[in-house]
Structure 1
Amino acid sequence: MFFHLQCAQLEIEKPSLFQFLFLSASPTSVGVVTSDFASGGRFKTFEPNSFTTFPTSIPIHSDAVGRYTNDRVFIVNRLNRDSIQVLNPQLGFLTEQEFSVGQGKNPQDISVWNDKYFISLYNSDELAIYSRTNGTKIGGVSFTSLRETFSTSGIPDSSVESSYMIQDGTSLFILLQRLDRNDVSGYLPPNSDSYLVEIDMDLNQIRTVYTLPYRNPSSKIQKVNLFGEPYLVFSCVGRVGFISQIDAGIIAFRLSTRQFHPSRLFAEENAGGDILAFQIKNEELGFAAVLDSGFTKTVQAFRPRTGERIGTLLQIPGNIGISLSGLLLTSEGKLLVGSTDFTRPGIYVYDSNLGNVLLNPIPSSVELTPFDIFQLQNLQ
């Protein structure tokens, strides 16, 4: 009798088809790029208030990131697929367009402007421009003049390591890491300054190049209202991984003056390691995914106004084969943290409105391992 009672309860608690459709279309749903880190990945949708993962499962590359803009999901299939995949939410996220950006170009991000796609390429010295109509290349913005002129080997490479982008008005801001691929160590240290480049999206040309106060920007760019006005905020990691040093942090670029805030919002000295990803709620609360020199992974809370560390939400020792991948603070205040535990991968959900309490001690499954998490809202 106990067995039948349990089955009946489970049957009652199953979400109806209406609930699936409603939640999947609601502003609280998020997109999740998942991967098996080998043969392929899947795009999934997840509702953090109900911990619901929906049946939608769109095949994508095993190394991909996602962005939602102009009422579409854009999957940036990176190295070895080198394509942009456009999914239509109104058609069950079916792929309505996919085009190549060139073998080995390793696309990193996409921005939509009128009839153009701007695409940053890690293995190139230009910002590529493609037709929104048919996915053919129609131009580019050259970064040849921004290549490094120094290498410890004496032979500078020809790539500028273009990465994440964000729009503001008619300007497109893009981060250039400018790493030394020919460094004698065999690693890719930032031996030259990194840049934030402002592009005129109407004229397809560089407006201004800003030298970053710290090197190797590695996070997505957030547009955040701080100190009464909008800033572009991103994390620089400097030397990271096997060559890690305490040498960077989260920095803010003031849009009204086109100048960097004089202080880091969260310094590596306070975090105790490289800040790989972050999310900021307001001046008093932010979250950071940190990797220290011993490969311990933590999710920390910090105060952007003062730069102080105010708590640790999650800590994973360096000798455990679990990583953190994907960090998102939703507009409702839920902090989503992707866990790459291969025995139980999934998404942890914390509530920043309730003292950062963990709502699901067992991470919610999204089938494969989460790699990138993003809101299904037009944010730029």
Structure 2
Amino acid sequence: MHRNLRLAALCLILGTAVPAAAWDDFIVLTTDFQSVGGVTRVDRDAPWSSAIDVATISSDAVGRWHDGRYYVVNRSAANIQVLDPAQGMATVLQFSVGVGRNPQDIAFSTDGRAFVSCLDAALLLEVDPVAGGVVGSWSTAGYADADGLPETGWMLAVADRLFITCQRLNRDGWWEPTGPGLLLVFDMSTGTWGAPVTLAGYNPAPPLSLSPDGTRLLAPTVGLYGLLDAGFETVDLATLTSSGLLVTEQQFGGEIVDVIMTGAHRAWAILSSTSFRTSLKTFDPAGGAAPVAVVASNGYDYADLAWDGAQQIYLCDRTTGAAGVRVFHQTSAAELTAAPIPTGRPPFQAVLPLESDATAAPVVAAAAGPALGAPWPNPANPRTTFAAAAAPGEDVAFAVLDLRGRRLREARRTAGADGRAVWEFDGRDRAGRALPSGAYRVTVSGAGEAPGEARLFTLAR
């Protein structure tokens, strides 16, 4: 990986996000919806090598990346599974969120707290991402229709606010939407609900994502399946108001399965026709010009889109006999792969190591400053060395934190003539107590700066 840039400390999206050039691979969740699911690791760039079945998950799962680990929501199994790429994608934690709740997504606050939405329970859950288990809950029943369930699904965290799709479907009437879709707004810092955003379209079933400039939330809706009655809209994050339908399903010629925005006038969408055949199209998210077809399938085969923040669009193609990940050029829309990248089972979701969501826009350009190298050795037993590249004579601040964001130990070192500041960490907190085995973060910053680049390391005693 490129190590010469530090992470952007102040960016338009949440957390300590990874710059577009700072990762080499990502994972793809695969499933046949019959037995078990799997995880395939895929290289970011050509020739896009893949490692199939590096982990086993449920057959009905979605994933997110956070702070160096992948969090898999095993929906029908009602549990959260945590995969650590630093340990060969080993499952380092797995815990139930309650039988029958049907968890849908997981999102993280800036201080490392984790929240889970539920389809079959009128609850928003808080879970402990370090020790596991449900540690809190908030009712969403006030947003439900007559059947008592609001059908909450995809989420996106922006600063202290958590946005949650609320479909409001009639379970006693063929799952028809009962009114306009809502985006629930939850303040993670205070644990309180704000006024929901009412969307123009019904049934916000597709994933949420951010505009590249971080000012708008993309909230596509599908309405009633099989009818072209919804479309693409955005929500202004300053005013929390909907744009209205900017591009309708009639204009698309199908219902939105997934959408990503790569520029002010450039977006990509997977669409499903009324005959349930999928296609990939580009379009102007501001409206106006007709969407342009890129490629189409003969069935309901295209499942997910992801963008690397540069020039690669990843498409999960489940076509029987030709399943895999296909790569397209973001600007020209030309296909870059000669054949789909093998994934074993058909691919369902590409999960990129980006903090805001699985298809995040790139963060702002990283500023110059201390660049933190990988801790060595890792795992630490218990000692390890943290080294940062900095200007000779520069004062560098290190800090060790747990995954909840609590500061456990700090140290300051001056970069030598070789441009390196080094801290030999002994595995103890600031009171001299031995830290327990587990996962931790180390951050680095220059004098007077907010913490910048972070690395995950494991302490094993």
Give the shorter-chain TM-score range: 0.7 to 0.9
Instruction: Tell whether 2:90 aligns with 1:108.
Output: no
1:167 is matched with which residue? 157
1:88 is matched with which residue? 84
Does the C-alpha gap of structure 1 residues 99 and 361 become closer, same or farther in structure 2, counting only changes over 3 Å? same
1:143 positional shift? 1.1
2:249 is matched with which residue? 268
2:178 is matched with which residue? 191
Determine the C-alpha separation between the residues in 2 that align with 1:115 and 1:275: 32
Moved more, 43-52 or 93-102: 43-52
SS of the aligned residue for 2:211 comes to strand
1:138 positional shift? 1.8
Q: Which runs of 5+ in 1 are unaligned?
A: 1-24, 149-155
Instruction: Tell whether 2:261 aligns with 1:280.
Output: yes
SS of the aligned residue for 2:355 comes to coil
Q: CA RMSD in A?
A: 1.8
CA contact (8 A) 1:140 1:204 kept: no
Q: Which runs of 5+ in 2 are unaligned?
A: 1-20, 358-461
1:8 is matched with which residue? none
Determine the C-alpha separation between the residues in 1 that align with 2:201 and 2:289: 19
Determine the C-alpha separation between the residues in 2 that align with 1:48 and 1:89: 15
Determine the C-alpha separation between the residues in 1 that align with 2:198 and 2:325: 36
Moved more, 109-118 or 284-293: 109-118
1:327 positional shift? 1.0
Structure ranking higher on relative contact order (CA contacts 8 Å, 6+ apart): 2
Per-residue CA deviations over 1:80-102 (Å, capped at 9, x if unaligned) read: x1111111122122111111111
Instruction: Tell whether 2:350 aligns with 1:373.
Output: yes
Determine the C-alpha separation between the residues in 1 that align with 2:326 and 2:345: 14
CA contact (8 A) 2:114 2:126 kept: yes
Does the C-alpha gap of structure 1 residues 282 and 28 become closer, same or farther in structure 2, counting only changes over 3 Å? farther
Partner residue of 1:256 out of 229, 234, 238: 238
Opposite residue 103 of structure 1, the aligned amino acid is V
CA contact (8 A) 1:67 1:374 kept: yes
Determine the C-alpha separation between the residues in 1 that align with 2:44 and 2:165: 30
2:33 is matched with which residue? 37
2:414 is matched with which residue? none
TM-score by length of 2: 0.69
Opposite residue 132 of structure 1, the aligned amino acid is P
Per-residue CA deviations over 1:322-347 (Å, capped at 9, x if unaligned) read: 51112112212211111112322111
SS of the aligned residue for 2:168 comes to coil
Aligned residues: 335
Determine the C-alpha separation between the residues in 1 that align with 2:261 and 2:184: 23
CA contact (8 A) 1:71 1:377 kept: no
Partner residue of 2:119 out of 112, 116, 122: 122
Determine the C-alpha separation between the residues in 1 that align with 2:297 and 2:223: 22
1:46 positional shift? 0.8
Determine the C-alpha separation between the residues in 2 that align with 1:315 and 1:147: 37
Determine the C-alpha separation between the residues in 2 that align with 1:297 and 1:136: 38
1:68 is matched with which residue? 65
1:77 is matched with which residue? 74
Determine the C-alpha separation between the residues in 2 that align with 1:66 and 1:225: 21
Q: Residues 1-380 of structure 1 correspond to what in structure 2 (within 5 A)?
A: 27-50=23-46, 51-54=48-51, 57-79=54-76, 81-113=77-109, 114=111, 116-148=113-145, 156-183=146-173, 187-225=174-212, 230-240=215-225, 244-262=226-244, 264-317=245-298, 320=299, 323-353=301-331, 355-379=332-356
Opposite residue 280 of structure 2, the aligned amino acid is V
Does the C-alpha gap of structure 1 residues 307 and 217 become closer, same or farther in structure 2, counting only changes over 3 Å? farther
Which of 1 and 2 has greater Rg?
Answer: 2
Opposite residue 333 of structure 2, the aligned amino acid is N
CA contact (8 A) 1:124 1:159 kept: yes
CA contact (8 A) 2:315 2:325 kept: yes
SS of the aligned residue for 1:253 comes to strand
Opposite residue 257 of structure 1, the aligned amino acid is T
1:168 positional shift? 1.4
SS of the aligned residue for 1:270 comes to helix
